Structure 1
Amino acid sequence: MNTTRLIGKLFAPRQKALDAYATRAVALQDAVLRRLLSEAAGTEWGKAHQYAGIRSYEDYRRLVPVQTYDDVKPYIERMRHGESDVLWKGQVRWYAKSSGTTNDKSKFIPVSPDGLKRIHYAGGTDCVASYLRNNPDSRFFSGKGLILGGSHAPNYNLKDSLVGDLSAILIQNVNPLVNLIRVPKKEIALLSDFEVKRDRIARSTIGKNVTNLSGVPSWMLSVLRRVLELTGKDSLEQVWPNLEVFFHGGVAFAPYREQYRQLIRSDRMHYVETYNASEGFFGVQTDPTDASMTLMVDYDVFYEFIPMDEFGKADPTVVPLEGVETGKNYAMLISTSCGLWRYLIGDTVRFTRKDPYRFVITGRTKHFINAFGEELIVDNAEKGLEVACAGTGAQIADYTAAPVFMDSDAKCRHQWLIEFAVLPDSTERFARILDRALQQINSDYEAKRYKDITLQPLEVVVARKNLFHDWLKEKGKLGGQHKVPRLSNTREYIDELLRLNR
């Protein structure tokens, strides 16, 4: 008997519920907002912002200001010290640690029991529900899932309260039944030293029947390469013949796609993109023929959006889901059952269609280059690099880019520091193709490159092997959900990396 087909019947109700996204997305979002306001009305935040009297989205927008982490940090600090009913009902004992702000090294995002169940675990369930619908002959549950996680540590020595990578929080709290179909063991999965963990994960899973992978592409790639090193095999299907799907997120998959094709040569292998951040689970690639993700509209997440051409203004336009337009770049705001209210998450998205609402992640509100009016975003960079790789046979391990404001010859340009998994046939040709591709993708960049007047041709600096790994290690950010900033409007990151590039 096909175990997956039998277990898969349990997902049928949820598969049917996902169909409602095509016709009832706005109504589902309205219901989410009402539920969140009702459940938080008795909290300190809810009382201060009159949640009990809110009757419409317009009321909510009028009474609650847009929040950044610096705005809510004082509340979160009190919660971390054990106070209850502050931003969300009850006591929140888990905090997802993520990249910091201008004023702080790290952010600590509350993860409530409600948020765990009705956002993060709901997303994991829907990943499987959607995948099984698209692949009725799957044998997903015939083996185990390799889930790559981070680590956690005590929170202010408060009893049963911890901070750590979101992935570690999910593994620590997962239903015991899931542990029966997950590898590695929890004590390995939660190790803090990634280099030790990578080796132990590889050694402990080689003899298992792994059918599915979940994690950040860059860190999973490191683990899979260690598996091949230890086994002496040429490809993963020689180790795990039933491997069929990788649920990936955290960083764009495009730079790693060709490397995964070389590691996993089976034509039965599937790749499913997810949008699972410390702040919540927001999207799943539900259609394998469409690279965009479906926005998950019935979790405990209410969405709002700021057009990026108004971002940073004193009083920008803010619209709920029904107000978005396709093809437009937006900064995303969320309100959740983890106690984040009209919270600026820092990611930018572009909708590709409605009914259901599908989108792509285009970058970060802080990760862009606009030193000369070129408005280059991560989405542009990823597409340009794909063209350059295709034209030169290159493969990219990691990269970052930043402006050179003026060199000794009074020339301005973009500088790209790229660690190649496979070198291009010519670095100079790679740079020329990338430069032309960016001009075709981004009209502002094209205008600034006109006759080399404002911007000169971009420069590609080849990074030594393991440069980005060593930089992250120096900062204590190996593994988990840590990632390299792709674009920066300053030279803070690239100058640090260039000093190590020797």
Structure 2
Amino acid sequence: MSIKSFAAKLFAQYIHNKVQAWATKPVETQEKVFRDLIAQAQHTQFGKDHDFANIKSFADFAAKVPIRDYEQLRPYIDRVVKGEEDILWKGKPIYFAKTSGTTSGAKYIPLTKESMPYHIEAARNAILSYIHETGKADFVNGKMIFLQGSPILEEKNGIKLGRLSGIVAHFVPKYLQKNRMPSWETNCIEDWETKVDAIVEETFHENMTVISGIPSWVQMYFEKLQQKGNKPVGEIFKNFNLFIYGGVNYEPYRAKFENLIGRKVDAIELFPASEGFFAYQDSQKEKGMLLLLNSGIFYEFVKAEEFFTENPKRYTIGEVELGVNYVLLLSTNAGLWAYNIGDTVQFTSVQPYRVIVSGRIKHYISAFGEHVIGKEVESALQEAMSGTNVRVNEFTVAPQITPNQGLPYHEWLIEFENEPENTEEFALKIDQAMRKQNTYYDDLIVGHVLRTLVITKVAKNGFQEYMKSIGKLGGQNKLPRLANDRKIADFFSK
């Protein structure tokens, strides 16, 4: 055992003890975070407008601070972007994480000197949790790659801005700098396909032990490696045994990855966003990710089925139940307040509190009242693939309301790596799995409102072409698993 791996194990034990200290006192931990946030923001413009001085409890907060998304919070954010101080949080942010996806263009998510350290610590602690539980630490001696956005930052009114992953690149600890890949120059390449080609050339002969990124884009990297080496990735990188990912569910990709790698590797799931780092997988044995209750974020939860009603009930951590689909709300030390990030979560454990990401509140299908969510389509596909040689590269689902003939249906657009022998039988398997999970969908099938889902095959790299066509190829961009419209489906029908 090297000195470095021995030191990593000692540090892992230390961090584990620190995490246990708050994880075993979840309600008290969140109450302290809440009090600290209100106290620190009391004299900001937002704090004055919402009477923070007289907020003594969560009930007071819920009464005074409505739920907002980015567009609703935008009047305040626009003032911060213009360079004004003490608007949402004390002083000015140190960065803006620039993202896309709103109806009115780019979003500027503030990152403050208080919030930024938690993004770095959470990623580090995820790896340390893995070391503590498994005892595996030799990977710290090899090279690690993080597929991410360019670290080149712009500036707006004296505040630097860029993609979160590019900003984080400036905070890589010194003890990891020698191990980290790709090079700074390669990381700065903007064109994703050119960048991946350069990463392949740079890493091909290295001792890669940890690879991290969104599965769909790591898959592109693995495919190019396999083409270059004409052998599985696991033979090219003999000591590669840990995959770290976030942003999307890994399960639909797992079979394809194991085929590309040539063997199974351990995986750690992360739940990061520009708005905060919310959770990480703290155990290889338990389902879900540990919700980070001590990271400058106060969480609220609204049942997804009630979210669009007037004044839905807002729950705190001590009130949540297992298996319920909740919309995640945040109040943070970056100045977001009762903020709807758009993600939905379900709790898999309350001792400690662990979550899975179940989907997006805006990404669903309910063209007929079926309320289908991302977790359901991913689970149904996984069940249908189980015990078969079928492998899927990528997929999305859309409603077909006005078919040329017959009843309406859900159209599953799937890019297969290995196709099923009988596509209609495979579609029926998915459909049956969907009906078991979703009683609304089952009722619509039984009542002859919908017919069995239909699979449309997408050509190899078809989804990459789609993402390229909308300017979202690579980086942290993700293909929606499902949508209540046919924008993606219509791209392929053309």
TM-score normalised according to structure 2 size: 0.95
Structure-1 residue corresponding to 2:379:
383
RMSD (Å) for aligned C-alpha atoms: 1.8
Describe the shift of the 1:107–1:158 C-alpha distance in structure 2 as closer, same or farther (beyond 3 A). same
Equivalence for 1:216 = 214
Preserved CA contact (<8 Å) 2:287 2:348: no
Unaligned runs of 5+ in 1: none
CA contact (8 A) 2:301 2:326 kept: yes
Q: How far off its partner does 1:403 sit?
A: 0.9
What is the aligned partner in structure 1 of residue 191 from structure 2? Answer: 193
Match among 228, 235, 238 for residue 235 of structure 2: 238
Specify the code of the residue in structure 1 equivalent to 2:267.
Y
> Does the C-alpha gap of structure 1 residues 175 and 89 become closer, same or farther in structure 2, counting only changes over 3 Å?
farther
Contact 2:83 2:158 in 1 (8 A): no
Q: Do residues 137 (structure 1) and 136 (structure 2) align?
A: yes
8 Å contact from structure 2 (residues 98, 161) kept in 1: no
Greater CA drift, 23-32 or 6-15: 6-15
Q: Deviations over 1:241-288 (max 9, x none)?
A: 221211111111011101111122345x21111111221111111121
Measure how far apart 1:154 and its partner are: 5.4
Q: Which of 203, 206, 210 in structure 2 is aligned with 1:205? A: 203
Shifted more, 378-387 versus 106-115: the winner is 106-115
Query: Aligned residues: percent identity?
Result: 35
What is the identity, as a one-letter code, of the residue corresponding to 1:459? V
Amino acid at match of 1:477: K
Residues 345-360 of structure 1: pairs in structure 2 closer than 5 A: 345-360=341-356
Distance 1:51 1:175, change over 3 A: farther
> Is residue 67–residue 342 contact of structure 1 (8 Å, CA) maintained in 2?
yes
Question: Is 2:115 aligned against 1:115?
Answer: yes
1:296 corresponds, among 268, 281, 292, to 292
Distance 2:404 2:8 in 1: 66
Listed as ranges, the matches of 1:302-313 within 5 Å are 302-313=298-309
Which of 407, 412, 416 matches 1:411? 407
Q: Is the 8 A contact 1:171 1:186 kept in 2?
A: no
Distance 1:237 1:153 in 2: 32
Following the alignment from structure 1 to structure 2, what is the Cα–Cα distance between the partners of residues 341 and 44? 12
Q: Which amino acid aligns with 1:394?
A: V
The letter for the 1-side match of 2:270 is T
Q: Report if aligned partners of 2:210, 2:243 keep a CA contact under 8 Å in 1.
A: yes
Q: Tell me if 1:54 matches 2:62.
A: no
Cα 1:381–1:235 change in 2 (3 A) is same
Following TM superposition, by how much is the alpha carbon of 1:159 offset from its aligned partner in structure 2, in angstroms?
4.1
The alignment partner of 2:115 has SS state of: helix
CA 1:154–1:186 in structure 2 vs 1: closer, same or farther (change >3 Å)? closer
- C-alpha contact (below 8 Å) 1:21/1:356 kept by paired residues: no
CA distance in 1 between partners of 2:157 and 2:44 (Å): 21
In structure 2, the gaps of 5 or more residues are: none
Deviation of the 1:380 alpha carbon: 0.7
| CA shift for structure 1 position 449 | 0.4
Any idea what SS the aligned residue of 1:78 has? helix
Q: Can you list the C-alpha shifts for 1:320-366, whole angstroms capped at 9, x where unaligned?
A: 11111112111010111121111001011111221201121111101
Counterpart in the other structure of 1:128? 127
Report the Cα offset of residue 491 of structure 1.
Answer: 1.4
Residue 182 of structure 2 corresponds to residue 184 of structure 1: yes
Shift of 1:406: 2.3
Runs of 4+ in 1 over 6 A off after TM superposition: none
* Match of residue 247, structure 1, among 244, 249, 253: 244
Q: How many residues are matched? A: 493
C-alpha distance in 1, partners of 2:419/2:106? 35
Corresponding residue SS for 1:418:
strand
TM-fit CA distance, 1:409: 2.9
Which has the larger displacement, 40-49 or 415-424? 40-49
CA distance in structure 1 between the aligned counterparts of 2:22 and 2:423, rounded to whole angstroms:
46
Distance 2:203 2:344 in 1: 36
Letter in 2 for 1:496: F
Counterpart Cα distance in 1 of 2:173 and 2:90: 23
2:32 counterpart SS class: helix
Query: For 2:21 and 2:92, how far apart are their aligned partners in 1?
Result: 33
Tell me how far 1:47 sits from its aligned partner: 2.2
SS in 1 for 2:309: coil
In 2, Cα distance between equivalents of 1:58 and 1:272: 36
Please give the per-residue CA displacement for 1:399-439, whole angstroms capped at 9, x wherever unaligned: 11111112233521111111112211121111111111111
* Residue 494 (structure 1) aligns with: 489
CA contact (8 A) 1:414 1:459 kept: yes
1: CA distance, partners of 2:395 / 2:100: 18
Give me the TM-score of the superposition, normalised by structure 1.
0.94
1:258 counterpart = 2:255? yes
SS for the counterpart of 1:345 is strand
Letter in 2 for 1:143: G
Cα distance between partner residues in 2 of 1:173 and 1:138: 22
Following TM superposition, by how much is the alpha carbon of 1:392 offset from its aligned partner in structure 2, in angstroms?
4.6
Question: What residue is the counterpart of 2:466 in the other structure?
Answer: 471
Deviates more, 1:140-149 or 1:258-267: 258-267
1:441-484 CA-to-partner distances (Å, cap 9, x unmatched) read: 21111111005x11011111001111110111111111111011
- Determine if the alignment matches structure 1 residue 439 to structure 2 residue 435: yes
Q: How far does residue 93 in structure 1 lie from its aligned partner after superposition? A: 4.0
Contact 2:93/2:159 (8 A) holds in 1: no
Query: Distance between the aligned counterparts of 1:138 and 1:435, measured in 2?
Result: 43
Pick closer, same or farther for the CA change 1:25–1:70 going to 2, 3 Å.
Answer: same
The 8 Å contact of residues 25 and 355 in structure 1, kept in 2 or not, is answered as: no
Q: CA deviation digits over 1:61-115, x for unaligned, max 9?
A: 22211111111112222222222221122222422233423x2233222222321
Counterpart in the other structure of 1:34: 35
Question: Take 1:151 and 1:73, find their aligned partners in 2: how far apart are those partners?
Answer: 26
Asked whether the 8 Å contact 1:363–1:379 carries over to 2, the reply is: yes
Code of the aligned partner of 1:255: P
Give the 3 Å change call, closer, same or farther, for CA 83–35 of structure 1 in structure 2: same
1:328 aligns with 2:327: no
The 3-state SS of whatever aligns with 2:305 is coil
Question: Residues 458 and 137 (structure 1 numbering): CA distance in 2 closer, same or farther, change over 3 Å?
Answer: closer
Structure 2 residue aligned with 1:460:
455
